[in-house]
Amino acid sequence: MRPAGKGALDSLYFDYPIFKARRVPELDGATTRHPVLIVGAGPIGMTAALVLARYGIRAVLIDRKDTFNDGSRAICIARPSMHILERIGAVAPFVEKALGWRSGRSYYRGEQIFRLEMPHPPGEKYLPMYNLQQQYIEKFLHDAVAASDLIDMRWQSELAGVECHADGVSVRVSSPEGDYRLNASYVLAADGARSPVRSMLGLRLKGDNYEGRYVIADIRMDHDFPTERRAFFEPSGNPGGTVLIHRQPDDIWRVDYQLREGESEEDAIREENIRARVGAILADIGYAKPWELEWWSIYSANTLCLDDYRHERVFFIGDSAHIVPIFGVRGLNNGLADAENIGWKLALVLHGEADDRLLDSYSPERRGATLDVFANATKSTRFMTPPTRGWQLAREAALSLSLRHEFPRGLANPRQMQPYTYAESRLTPHPARDAEFAGGPLCGSAAPNAEIADGSHLLDYAGNGMTALLFCGGGQPDAEQAALLAQLGRVDKRSVALLIGADHPQTGAKAIPDRDRSIARVFAAEPGTFYLLRPDLHIAGRWKTVVPGEILRAATICLGSETP
């Protein structure tokens, strides 16, 4: 919502473009079957289209709206998402515009009780978190979509019906240019929390709703405070409710505040009440200068998801599949990981490089990630919005003790999540190999990054197929290792081999210098250690010394081969 007298898109800082509907070939009788139809051109749908385009796969992308999201909504982009944006060739404007951060503070009755420091290992290329309004996220992704010949973007095009067939999906689309039928081999439903695709297929989200409601309000102010997450428990500016403050680009600040028990939603979202509450919160943090109200909305925490993120040839990605509480900033970030996960798998299947069995791994992996978020989010949501007297009393006791004691302070940790580890996925067939290592990233986890002497980063050299990291410790691959790399190249023609700490490159393998062994340390590697990365840079397996049979098997399983 926006202040009285302003239109829905009348923003203080963002100029909304208006996209027209186009006359599409289907309106003139074309019946081509498209490889992929993506419903919903939000951040998740556009990212999915760009992941497919990276592999040369065409997609039709439809959206019923004629422009970007009406408000800033999802504003936190986590480090793994920056890597996804990098791989789809869209990260540059994000780095330029977004505000990176790595720390936060929690206060109780005005006194700081917790200092959040998110892990930031020295070899990482990106900060743990970046703040950017969703309109910019969509604009930057759309710039990349518009520059791609492989993406057929259709605005003002609404899904009117969907039918699943054995060999494809047939949908009806309504647009101002006319209504038409469109056929696709696969559909990605990125149509948001109220997903029409989900309703049309008769599927329902299941899970829990939480009591606490938050108003999220954006204001413009000239406030001199670093980009950090600030959480205020029991602040005098919003008695009985928690407050969160985040900085965004263009001098825009997000003020989230919890409504008091019994407070009516209808009253809470009235402009005069928003202004009064925000004013009191600003006075509380010592801001006395003028400010302008930009946009606001209301939110309540839910943990809801589909039982299966796949329905025949339809895959649900982002909010259409799962709704998570905002406190862990996993809504957007998990959605982007969904888009990448289904994107590489679908692309390899459509190219005939992987068996379509590979698509079966999408739902277990990404639903597993959702359930993991739920487990953490339930904890942070109970702390942010205590549901009963017992939770309220326990929180008040813990927070008040935090003023003088260290031990309860960790309870105020917002639990900003790390990316999910696919340890139990069938694409991670040898997790027991972790026992050989004294440290380093576990099987199924996202690969850490490392800086190379020339200023570039290890993951810059990963490919869009499997990536092999062979640690050479100053030497060269021996005959067995060289034969393994050659065979991996035959199993996966996209595979890339990186020789870490090798003297010079080999045929088909790039040497990555590691004189101070810093990369080897990050991976707890010794000469002969082997890591196999999936196209999404999760670790498919790791071996202290090469076991060619297991390594090749792990690679073929990641390409959809049978029995793990």
Partner 1 sequence: MSAMPFEDFETAYETLAMAIDTAGPEREALFLTRLALVLGHELGDVTAFRNAVKAALEGLE
- Environment class of residue 169 by beta-carbon count within 10 Å: exposed (0-12), middle (13-18) or buried (19+)? buried
Q: Which residue, 193 or 394, has its beta carbon nearer to partner 1?
A: 394
Among 408, 414, 477, 501, binds partner 1 (CB under 8 A): 408
Binding partner 1 by CB under 8 A: which of 18, 146, 283, 393? 393
Residue 400: CB minimum distance to partner 1, A: 7
CB of 106 to partner 1, least distance (A): 17
Check: CB of residue 490 under 8 Å from CB of residue 350: no
The encoded tokens of residue 486 equal 């050659």
Closer to partner 1 at the Cβ: 397 or 483? 397
Q: Is 413 in the site for partner 1 (CB under 8 A)?
A: no
Only segment of 47-55, 242-250, 374-382, 405-413 that touches partner 1 (CB under 8 A): 405-413
Stretch that binds partner 1, among 330-338, 393-401, 500-508, 555-563 (CB under 8 A): 393-401
- Dihedral sign from CA coordinates of 327, 332, 338, 341: negative
Question: Is 403 an interacting residue with respect to partner 1 (CB under 8 A)?
Answer: no
Q: Identify which range of 62-70, 244-252, 341-349, 388-396 contacts partner 1 by CB under 8 A.
A: 388-396
Q: Which stretch binds partner 1 (CB under 8 A): 40-48, 400-408, 444-452, 522-530?
A: 400-408
> Could you say which of 405, 460, 510, 545 contacts partner 1 (CB under 8 A)?
405
Half-sphere exposure of 264 (CA within 13 A, CB side): 3
DSSP string covering 472-498: -TTS---HHHHHHHHHHHHH-TT-EEE
Residue 87 parent element (H or E)? helix 79-87
Shorter beta-carbon distance to partner 1: residue 233 or 316: 233
Helix (H, G, I), strand (E, B) or coil at 404: coil
182's enclosing H/E stretch is: strand 178-189
Tokens of 560: 């959809």
Give yes or no for residue 204 binding partner 1 (CB under 8 A): no
Q: What is the DSSP letter of 136?
A: H
* Of positions 401, 486, 491, 524, contacts partner 1 by CB under 8 A: 401
Q: How far is the CB of 239 from partner 1 (least distance, A)?
A: 16
Query: Per-residue x/- marks for partner 1, 456-495, CB under 8 A?
Result: ----------------------------------------
DSSP state of 205: -
> Considering the rule CB under 8 A, would residue 396 count as an interface residue with partner 1?
yes
- 38 near partner 1 (CB under 8 A): no
Among 397, 403, 453, 483, binds partner 1 (CB under 8 A): 397
Contact 319, 335 (CB under 8 A): yes
CA dihedral of residues 421, 371, 137, 25 (deg, nearest 10): 100
**Which stretch in 108-116, 221-229, 304-312, 389-397 sits in contact with partner 1 by CB under 8 A?**
389-397
CA dist 460 and 125 (Å) reads: 10
* Nearest distance, CB of residue 377 and partner 1, angstroms: 23
Task: Closer to partner 1 by CB, 225 or 391: give it.
Answer: 391
Asked whether the beta carbons of 383 and 410 are under 8 A apart, the reply is no
Phi, psi dihedral angles at 186 (to 5 degrees)? -140, 150
Question: Binding residue for partner 1 (CB under 8 A) from 221, 269, 394, 486?
Answer: 394
Half-sphere exposure in the Cβ direction for 339 (13 Å, CA): 37
Enumerate residues 6+ apart whose C-beta is below 8 A from 439. 524
Q: Select 401 or 442, whichever has its Cβ closest to partner 1.
A: 401
Q: Is there binding between residue 400 and partner 1 (CB under 8 A)?
A: yes
Smallest gap from residue 394 Cβ to partner 1 (A): 6
Return the DSSP state at 89: T
Stretch that binds partner 1, among 70-78, 217-225, 395-403, 537-545 (CB under 8 A): 395-403
DSSP strand pairing (243-248 vs 252-258): antiparallel
Q: Looking at the DSSP assignment, which residues form a beta bridge with residue 296?
A: 217
Q: Which stretch binds partner 1 (CB under 8 A): 153-161, 203-211, 338-346, 394-402?
A: 394-402
- Out of 184, 398, 412, 427, name the contact with partner 1 by CB under 8 A: 398
Angle at which helices 479-491 and 548-557 cross, to 10° = 20
Does the protein bind partner 1 through residue 407 (CB under 8 A)? yes
Which one of the spans 157-165, 338-346, 404-412, 416-424 is the region binding partner 1 (CB under 8 A)? 404-412
* Distance from C-alpha of 528 to C-alpha of 62, rounded to nearest angstrom: 49
DSSP state of 446: B
Q: Which is nearer to partner 1, 408 or 477 (CB)?
A: 408
| Pairing outcome for strands 467-471 and 530-533 | antiparallel
Least separation in angstroms between residue 397's CB and partner 1 is 4
Q: How many residues bind partner 1 (CB under 8 A)?
A: 10
58 vs 65: CA distance, rounded Å:
22
Give the binding site for partner 1 (CB under 8 A): 393-394, 396-398, 400-401, 405, 407-408
